[in-house]
Structure 1
Amino acid sequence: MKIQDIIEGKKEWRAHMARVKALPQDYQIVYKEIQKYLFKVGPVELTEGTELLSGIVDLFEEGVALGKGVLAVTGRDVAAFCDDLIKDSKTYADIYQASVAQEVNQAMKKITKI
């Protein structure tokens, strides 16, 4: 990664966060919780750009423009909302589960050879 790419990434992130800070307080709170949730269990692609997070901000800005409360946009179960957003994406948990399964299979093969 070039220095220029890092600088551009930081500019993009700052602009993104400025959009978040322009949202009403209830939207900001829910956004931050969504962000934490996605960073913990979210898709691998999340670290490659801000498309998913920007899409959430777009949705939230639309909700604000329509005068909706944040839970009217996400639903009362915000974790389920997040899960639905990433349901077809490969997550770090998926990668870890696959590596554990592979390790177990290799260990079992060694045991059966004994």
Structure 2
Amino acid sequence: MTTLIEQIVGDLGDKRRWRQYKARVKALPASYRSAAEAVERYLAYFGAITKGDVPVDVMMAMLEDLANLFEQAAADSTPIRAVVGEAPVEFAETFFRKYSDGGWISRGEDQSISAIERGFYKEVEREIAKERARLVKAIERA
């Protein structure tokens, strides 16, 4: 049974997990932190917009694994390019697909969408392209 506070503000466990994840990323060395934040931003945008509502527990597991990956890389002094490879967008999308249960489909694949929805998804694709460019630049700077 949930408490009244949890009903009003949401699951407190998820909020704790989010704060712990953000603290872990903040503790990373600057270049690893900026790379992790760029991948996080892309995953959140790519996953939430194009793949539908990603369950919070799935998103948190994904982000916690991302933090583990960058923490281990920093501890081993592994270069960021060795972690994400030459194609950081492909890395992020592959990383996301690892957590996909097949239940999320790209809305652009549905043939029955209206003209308004098609316009919306074109705008989403433009925004995703911008995020891809931001991710690549962040990795290059890191």
Under TM normalisation by the shorter chain, which class is it? Answer: 0.7 to 0.9
Contact 2:14 2:56 (C-alpha < 8 Å) held by counterparts:
no
Structure 1 position 74 matched with structure 2 position 84: yes
Percent identity between matched residues is 25
**TM-score scaled by length of structure 2:** 0.60
Contact 1:75 1:81 (C-alpha < 8 Å) held by counterparts:
yes
The RMSD of aligned alpha carbons is 2.7
Structure 1 position 13 matched with structure 2 position 24: no
Q: In 1, distance between residues paired with 2:103 and 2:16?
A: 26
Structure 1 position 28 matched with structure 2 position 39: no
**TM-score scaled by length of structure 1:** 0.72
C-alpha offsets along residues 30-69 of structure 1, whole Å, 9 cap, x if unaligned? 1111111111112557442210111111111111111112
Aligned partner of 1:21: which letter?
A: K
Could you list the structure 1 runs, at least 4 aligned residues long, displaced by more than 3 angstroms after superposition.
Answer: 43-47
1:15/1:87 Cα in 2 relative to 1: closer, same or farther (>3 Å)? closer
Q: In 1, distance between residues paired with 2:93 and 2:103?
A: 11
Q: In 2, distance between residues paired with 1:86 and 1:16?
A: 17
Unaligned ranges ≥5, structure 1: 105-114
Q: CA deviation at 1:80?
A: 1.0
How many residues matched?
A: 102
Aligned partner of 1:40: which letter?
A: Y
* Corresponding residue for residue 86 of structure 1: 96
Aligned partner of 2:36: which letter?
A: Y
1:60/1:45 Cα in 2 relative to 1: closer, same or farther (>3 Å)? farther
Q: In 2, distance between residues paired with 1:12 and 1:46?
A: 16
* Corresponding residue for residue 126 of structure 2: none
Q: In 2, distance between residues paired with 1:10 and 1:75?
A: 31
Greater RCO, 1 or 2 (C-alpha within 8 Å, sep 6+): 2
1:67/1:15 Cα in 2 relative to 1: closer, same or farther (>3 Å)? same
C-alpha offsets along residues 59-88 of structure 1, whole Å, 9 cap, x if unaligned? 111111111122221113211101111236
Contact 1:46 1:52 (C-alpha < 8 Å) held by counterparts:
no
* Corresponding residue for residue 96 of structure 1: 107
* Corresponding residue for residue 65 of structure 2: 55
1:29/1:9 Cα in 2 relative to 1: closer, same or farther (>3 Å)? same
Contact 2:26 2:33 (C-alpha < 8 Å) held by counterparts:
yes
